[in-house]
Structures are given as C-alpha cells and as structure tokens.
Structure 1
Amino acid sequence: MSKADMGRRYRLYPTSETEARLTAWGHTCRALWNVALEQRRYVYRQRDLTLMGSAQCKQLAQARAELDWIADLPSECGQRVLANLDAAFLNFWNPDHPSGFPARKKRGHRMSIPFKGQRIEVRKLSRHWGEVRLPKLGWVRFRLSRALGGVIRNATVSRDGTGWHISFGVHTGRRPAAPNGEPACGVDFGVSASAYVSTETEPRTMPPALTTTEQARLRFLEHRKARQLSYAKKRNGGRYSGRLRKTIAQIAKLRTRQANRRQDFTHELTTDLAKNHGIVGIEDLRVKNMTTTAKGTMNAPGKNVAQKAGLNRSILDNTPGERRRQLGYKCLLYGSELVAVPAFHTSQTCAACGAVDPDSRQGCGRLFSCVHCGHEDDADHNASIEIEARARRTGGSVINSTRSTHAVRVPAQRGRRTRETLPATHG
C-alpha cells in the first residue's frame, strides 16, 4: 500500500458531547504513551531486552478487557500510539536523525488521538464544509478549507489553544517536478532581518506575531498565572482552581495565535523561495548549539545570561529549522534544489573580492565594509551573496550569478585569512 506523501489540516467543530469524549481519549493516549515508554525502559534496564510495539499490543488487548477507560478508546488508536512510539525509537537509533530519546508527555502536552485511514470516511457537505466519520463518534463537521487531493492513509485529531483540528495524511502520487530553470539565490536567515535574499535589495522582515495590545495582555495573564499558582501551592494543596485553568487556556490561545502567524510567514517565505528560484542556498546551521543557555553552573556561573536568553528567543522565533524543513520538500515540488552550505565565515567574506577578514565586519553592525577593496553593503545581503556562491559550487552551475568575482576558498590560516581569485581565463 502506498504511504502518505502529503498532509492536510482542517479546523474541527465537534459537539459538546463529542468534545468531552475526545478529551478523555486524548488523556488515554497520553497515558498509554507514558506507560509503554516506562515499560520499555524498565525491561531494558532489568533484562537488557528491547521491547517493541508488537509485544505490547498483546498486553494492550488484556488491558482493554480489564480497564473500562482503555476499552472506551478505539482499538486502532492504541495501536497507533504504540506504532508512533516505535517510530520515535527508530529515529533515536538512527545516527542521521536529529531526534533524541523519546520523552514522556505531560498533561499540558498537545492533545492528539491518532486513527487509521481505513476507518476514516469523509464526505463533502458544501463548498466550505465537510464531515468526517470517526470510530465510536459518528460524523463530525470540519471546515473544508482546501481539497484533500488524495487517498486518506491516516488521520489525527488534535487540540491546541484555538480549538480542535483534524489532520489527514493523504497519498497524492505527486512526483518531484522537473528543474524549473529559475535563477539561483542565497538566503541569510537572521534576527534583525528575518531573511535576506541575494537577488533582492531589501530584507524580508517577519511582522510581530502579537500586537502591542496582545503582548500587554499576555504579560498580564502570565503575572496572574504566577499569583494563582502560588496560591494553589500554599492554600489549595497544589490543586488547580477553575480560574487558574481559565487563565492557562487564555495564555494558550494567545501563544497558539502567535505560533500560527509565525507559521504563516514561514510558509509564504519558503513557498516563494522554492517556486521562483532554481537553487536555494542556505547555511547549514546547528540551531541547538546556537541556542544553548549561558547560565553555566553553580561553581562557574555564566555571564550575560539574560541577554543570551533574549537572543535565543529571537533566533527560535525565526524558526530556522522549520524553514529548512519546509524548503526540503517544497523544492522537490516546485523543481528547485536546496543546498545547505557551511556557515563558516559567511559574515566575514567580501562578496566583491572574496577576502576573508573579521575587520570588515565590526561588531554586530549592519554594515559590511571590506578593508581590502572598499566594497560596502548590508552585512546580511553580503552574506547571502556568499551563500549563493557556495551553493553554486556545491550543487549547481555558475550561470545567473549575482557575485561579481568567481573565487575559490583557500584553507583557513591563523590571523588574517584571504581568498585567491581565479584568473579571468580560467574555465
């Protein structure tokens, strides 16, 4: 059977009774994940054995016969939870995958219930509305914002701060597109400028994800939550009150709105880059290393911890990892090529003469001024041209280049590092 190669996400509108049951199922799926994970860790520590989902499915069947709250969950949902846990461990064992060891899911974790595609049926009600039939629930309405465009292979019902959603994994059978023949570009992802494209004269800046009023309200809600948490610990035995849960829901709604706006900008940016360029060069960034904390240890405390924390938030707010992930599959769909180049000295290399000198970039200013040839440009735009040049040497031709001089890097040396320029007659 062909696997899902595309995802579709829609807003789900369950009734109050259906919503209560979906909430209970979500907590059941979270509990199954945590219990199955703890069982695998225990078996490995005590017996040095690797327990997989096939063996745990038999124990799940016994638990369904004894526990009503597990029996209420559709059987395929529990099986999908164990299959997802298997996939998480396979990713952890894969040295080429960035995933870490599977973690426990907290109560505040995004609630989700996975379903198999064979048990899902969808019908169209009107131009903008549809219904999906879920096991033990019947037909549930959802907003048909776009066509499915394929055969449903799996589905996941989830809830965030704005409400319920349903995601379909569909098989479209779409093949990678032929090369589109568009010019190449290099993109420098930054903080002050969200993205600077080498073929453009102005940076692309992500608008604030929250308005000034929303930011003020978020700060107010965070302060209220801190007071209510303190009261719950001192006077209520740690139990959350209804007002505290309402405050947490209001914060989650604002955070989800912020994430959705950030995601919308990211999709628009990556789609435009993949559709209108033949080669998209980006830096091979190590985001995890870039956003490590500076707090240090008790014996060796860090310096400028608050400033580094603010920088980390700004880096993560621009989602460089998500942009790379989206470019990875969108370039295949639109006939372009994604090339990740080493980020070494891209901000200190002159786009005109190719000289590498840290004195050309004083501090963290926005101006790049080459101390060798006098070339001046915006620092991010200069870096994007260097990224494009490296991407061409790695994965593309040398036509349509925005770089004035073709150059080859020499091995880095101590002190001042330079770059040798090829003669004009060189091929």
Structure 2
Amino acid sequence: MDQRQIAVLDGQAHHARTVWNLLHEFFTFRQGRFASLAQCDEAIRLARKEIDWLKDLPAQAAQAVLKTYRQAWKNFFNPGHPAGRPTFKSRFSSRMAVDVPQGRDLNITRINRRWGAVAIPKLGRVRFRWTQDLPGVTKGGGEGKITGARLVKETTGWHIVFRTQTMHAPPAPHQGPAPRCIGTTQPPDRRSLDVEALPYWGR
C-alpha cells in the first residue's frame, strides 16, 4: 500500500467515525424516543448529499456503520451482554476501521505464497500478506466463501480481516457407549470373630 492509498484509507476511517457520531446525535437528540432504522438511513443519505467530503466514504461502508451502531444498542439492551451504552467516538482514542460488506467486490487473487491482492472501493487494488488459507479461494481453505472484509489500523499499519462463511457437514448421531457384559461378584466373606477363643489379659 503506497502513501496515497494510506491517506485515502485514513480519510475514509475518519469519515466512518464522523458518520457514527452523526448517527449517535440524530438517534438520541429526542429524550425518551429513539429514531427508527428508516429515519437513520434517510439521515445518512441526506448527509451524503449535503456534506461533500462524506462522499469519499463508500455508500456500503456508511451503511455498515449504521448496522454496527444499531447492533451496539441491541447489545446494550440485552441483559446478558456486557456491552455498555454507545457513545461518541473520539478522534484520538477510537479505533480506525473501514468495512467492505460486499464480498463479491473484493476480487481476491493470490500473487505468490506470501502475498495476495484485493480490490478496495475508491482505493484500488492493494496487496496484503497471506497468512492462512481462505475458504473458496485456496485449496486448503475448504468449501465456503468470503462475505466481506474490514480494514483496521494498528500501530504497525493497516490490516485486513476477512469475514468468511464455511460449509460444515452435519455431525453424525452419537450412538452412545457400546454395551458390555457386567459379571456378578460374590460379597466378601465376613466371618464372625469368636470372642471366647481370645485369651483374656485382664488378670
């Protein structure tokens, strides 16, 4: 990934964080009444028309932010989930990430044993280090397909994480342990002790 691509991806990640913050403000500005999914979707479409720099973020990535934001609220209202209440994302403390929800647009190809290439919307074709087999792409990956990806920025640079769907055969019914013959044993011979036969040491 060259410097131009890194700058474009950094900008998309900041735009995705801005979409999250705009959604959070729109979703919670009415006390006691949250906005619906249709209203949030319409707000994103309107913001992309009125704010020019938001167009640098692919529309699919913006919809992925909405999906993640709604899921964060579902986790918060789930009593069995440890997630906290969704809040605004800070520029310096939040994790930079961009989603590519459509796997068919990735066009993954393998260059050699260590490197592969993938197509990222509005970024072009970039190389990534091949660390393991992918389902539906390599022979060792098994049956399945790539359903999407997420680009995440770490201290060492940008990394790509693929979302996969694998095919597994249904497990065979368990027959249980094999029957075995258990023989009967005689109870131990508990012979009575003849007290009168013992010597008397009291005298």
TM-score by structure 1 length? 0.37
2:26 alignment partner, one of 3, 14, 39: 39
Q: Counterparts in 2 of 1:121-136, with a 5 A limit?
A: 121-136=107-122
Counterpart Cα distance in 2 of 1:58 and 1:148: 36
User: Is this contact kept in 1: 2:9–2:123, CA < 8 A?
Assistant: no
Indicate the residue corresponding to 1:24 in structure 2.
Answer: 11
AA paired with 2:67? A
1:171 Cα shift?
Answer: 0.0
1:138 Cα shift?
Answer: 1.5
Highest CA radius of gyration, 1 or 2?
2
Q: Counting helix residues as a fraction of each chain, which structure ranks higher?
A: 1
User: Is this contact kept in 1: 2:116–2:129, CA < 8 A?
Assistant: yes
Superposed CA offset, 1:6-53 (max 9, x none): xxxxxxxx211000000001111111111111221112x1xx322244
TM-score by structure 2 length? 0.75
Indicate the residue corresponding to 1:281 in structure 2.
Answer: none
Indicate the residue corresponding to 2:156 in structure 1.
Answer: 162
Counterpart Cα distance in 1 of 2:117 and 2:11: 21
Counterpart Cα distance in 1 of 2:168 and 2:84: 31
Q: Which moved more, 1:76-85 or 1:106-115?
A: 106-115
Does the residue aligned with 1:121 lie in a helix, a strand or coil?
Answer: coil
Indicate the residue corresponding to 2:145 in structure 1.
Answer: 151
Indicate the residue corresponding to 1:110 in structure 2.
Answer: 95
AA paired with 1:159? K
1:153 Cα shift?
Answer: 1.2
User: Is this contact kept in 1: 2:13–2:97, CA < 8 A?
Assistant: yes
Gaps of 5+ in 2: 136-143, 174-203
User: Is this contact kept in 2: 1:74–1:136, CA < 8 A?
Assistant: yes
Superposed CA offset, 1:113-137 (max 9, x none): 1111243221111111101101111
2:33 alignment partner, one of 49, 66, 69: 49
Indicate the residue corresponding to 2:70 in structure 1.
Answer: 86
Q: Counterparts in 2 of 1:222-371, with a 5 A limit?
A: none
Note closer, same or farther for the CA distance 1:123–1:178 as it changes in structure 2 (3 Å cut): same
1:106 Cα shift?
Answer: 1.3
1:177 Cα shift?
Answer: 6.4
Indicate the residue corresponding to 1:280 in structure 2.
Answer: none
Identity %: 35
Gaps of 5+ in 1: 1-13, 180-427
AA paired with 2:119? R
AA paired with 1:140? V
Note closer, same or farther for the CA distance 1:112–1:175 as it changes in structure 2 (3 Å cut): farther
Indicate the residue corresponding to 1:288 in structure 2.
Answer: none
AA paired with 1:79? Q
Counterpart Cα distance in 2 of 1:107 and 1:90: 24
User: Is this contact kept in 2: 1:52–1:86, CA < 8 A?
Assistant: no
Counterpart Cα distance in 2 of 1:137 and 1:54: 29
Moved over 4 A (4+): 175-179
Q: Counterparts in 2 of 1:399-414, with a 5 A limit?
A: none
2:105 alignment partner, one of 119, 142, 148: 119
Indicate the residue corresponding to 1:172 in structure 2.
Answer: 166
Note closer, same or farther for the CA distance 1:20–1:53 as it changes in structure 2 (3 Å cut): farther
